[in-house]
């Protein structure tokens, strides 16, 4: 929008030809001086405007007022604001001088001091082994693989493909700004070096399975130690493995090997379970047999000691009364023999209906359970009484 609609300019002169007063004069020969005002005219008009603002009657007083205004503007340029996620770093003649907390702060204006305000709470990401346009990549996300960074040699001389992310933030703004020229490439190189060192000590199987957390911790602590040696002023907050796989050319064969190893482990576990079941059972059976053998041994020893004791007592009785003991032993022996053998008594002098007497049947009938009394005593009652003088 045009100012004053072609009226008088702010400096008081009419503006028939533009904002700077009268149009430029035509040069000799009738040629045009160009579409814009001449530089000398601009300088002259600026000087006239300053004279109108500053009173010319006082001379030095006007210059002093102008100087004070310039000094006030220069002093006011030293105010600066530090946001809550930033830290102020004040430089004096280009060298680090002090830090400033969030809020409104002041430094001596340029060229004496200047201020830098890096973000110290923002978490930065460094991608190693791949490149992704997303600020927070996730596993399985499509990304461009960088093989010269991701291929590494394991401790058992296998090749593994690893993609990982390093998360870091500024810990000391002064060290971050002045001790390293390129902090992010330095972090990337240190993290990649530490990852290759850790993977070079780790076999491929643990690296693919249970050692992932340990690898992340070792790489994070090692990278932090390197950055502390450089006094880079950064804190490595996390190292996150994105992909840990064999190279794409051999991944199918490697998966076959993994499946075979899983089958081997399963069969080994089954064999261990069978062993844990059969061995305690065999030990229990062996212990039972040992206990039975010991019991049999103890019973045999006790029986033998009893037999020996009985023999000693018989010997003692025989020594005291040989005739009585000899007759008693004979009677006991015959009683034992006759008890175990069937007995039939035949006597030619026996007169009656039953010429023989089967004594063994009566004893066997007596040994049978729940036999009637008549059946047990019948043969004895049917036998006639022997005559006087007959052998008994």
281-338 confidence digits (pLDDT tens)? 999 999 999 999 999 999 999 999 999 998 888 888 888 888 888 888 888 888 888 8
For residue 175, how far is the Cα from the chain centroid? 35
Q: Where does the pLDDT of residue 226 fall: very low under 50, low under 70, confident under 90, or very high at 90 and above? A: very high
**Residues sharing a CB contact under 8 Å with residue 143, sequence separation 6 or more, in sequence order:** 127, 130, 131, 132, 137, 163
Q: Could you state, in order of their start, the residue ranges of all structural domains in the chain?
A: 52-117, 124-136+143-246, 260-337, 342-382
**Rounded mean pLDDT of 215-235?**
93
Q: How far is CA 206 from each of CA 87, 110, 212, rounded to the nearest angstrom?
A: 42, 58, 8
What angle do helix axes 251-320 and 322-340 make, rounded to 10 degrees?
130
Q: Contact 95/122 with Cβ under 8 angstroms? A: no
Average pLDDT of the chain, as a whole number = 76
144 contacts 130 by C-beta, under 8 angstroms: yes
What is the C-alpha to C-alpha distance for residues 190 and 39, in angstroms, rounded to an integer?
57
260-266 — which CB contacts under 8 Å span 24+ positions? Answer: 261/205
- Output the pLDDT for position 37: 57
* Cβ-Cβ contacts under 8 Å for 90 (sequence gap 6 or more): 96, 97, 98, 99, 100, 107, 113, 114, 115
Residue % of the chain over a pLDDT of 90: 26
Using one digit for the tens of pLDDT, what is the confidence trace for 349-380? 766 655 555 555 555 555 555 444 433 333 43
- The DSSP output letter for 249 is G
The H or E element spanning position 81 is strand 79-82
Architecture of domain 124-136+143-246: 2-Layer Sandwich (3.30)
Q: Do 204 and 181 meet the contact criterion of CB atoms below 8 Å apart?
A: no
In this predicted structure, what is the pLDDT of residue 31? 44
What is the rounded CA–CA span in Å between residue 170 and residue 87? 10
Alpha carbon of 198 to those of 154, 161, 165, 191: distances in Å?
9, 14, 16, 11
Asked if 238 and 222 touch (Cβ cutoff 8 Å), the reply is: no
The confidence band for 57, taking pLDDT boundaries of 50, 70 and 90, is: low
Query: pTM of the entire structure?
Result: 0.49
Cα separation, 326 vs 349, in Å, equals 33
User: CA 13, CA 238: separation in Å to the nearest integer?
Assistant: 69
């Amino acid at each position: 929008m045009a100012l004053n609609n072609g009226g008088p300019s702010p400096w008081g002169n009419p503006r028939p030809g533009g904002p700077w007063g009268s149009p430029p004069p035509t040069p000799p020969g009738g040629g045009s001086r160009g579409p814009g005002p001449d530089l000398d005219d601009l300088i002259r008009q600026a000087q006239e405007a300053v004279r109108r603002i500053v009173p010319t009657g006082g001379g030095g007083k006007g210059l002093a007022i102008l100087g004070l205004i310039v000094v006030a503007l220069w002093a006011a340029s030293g105010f600066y604001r530090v946001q809550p996620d930033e830290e102020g770093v004040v430089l004096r003649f280009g060298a680090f001088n002090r830090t400033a907390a969030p809020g409104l702060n002041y430094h001596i204006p340029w060229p004496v001091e200047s201020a830098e305000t890096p973000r110290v709470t923002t978490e930065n990401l460094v991608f190693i082994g791949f490149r992704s346009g997303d600020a927070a990549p996730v596993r399985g996300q499509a990304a461009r693989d960088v093989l010269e960074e991701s291929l590494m040699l394991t401790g058992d001389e296998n090749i593994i493909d690893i993609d990982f992310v390093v998360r870091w933030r500024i810990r000391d703004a002064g060290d971050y700004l002045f001790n390293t020229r390129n902090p992010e490439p330095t972090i990337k190189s240190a993290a990649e070096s530490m990852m290759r060192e850790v993977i070079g000590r780790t076999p491929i199987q643990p690296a693919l399975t249970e050692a992932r957390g340990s690898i992340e911790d070792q790489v994070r602590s090692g990278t932090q130690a390197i950055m502390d040696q450089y006094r880079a002023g950064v804190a490595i907050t996390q190292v996150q493995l994105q992909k840990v796989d064999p190279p794409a050319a051999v991944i199918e064969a490697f998966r076959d090997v993994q499946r075979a190893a899983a089958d081997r482990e399963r069969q080994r576990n089954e064999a261990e379970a069978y062993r844990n079941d059969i061995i305690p059972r065999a030990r229990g059976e062996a212990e039972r047999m040992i206990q039975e053998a010991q019991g049999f041994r103890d019973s045999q020893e006790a029986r033998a000691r009893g037999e020996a004791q009985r023999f000693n007592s018989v010997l003692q009785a025989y020594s005291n009364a040989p005739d009585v003991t000899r007759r008693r032993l004979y009677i006991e022996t015959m009683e034992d023999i006759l008890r175990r053998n069937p007995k039939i008594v035949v006597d030619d002098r026996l007169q009656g209906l039953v010429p023989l007497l089967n004594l063994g049947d009566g004893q066997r009938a007596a040994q049978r359970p729940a036999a009637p009394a008549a059946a047990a005593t019948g043969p004895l009652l049917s036998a006639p009484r022997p005559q006087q003088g007959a052998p008994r």
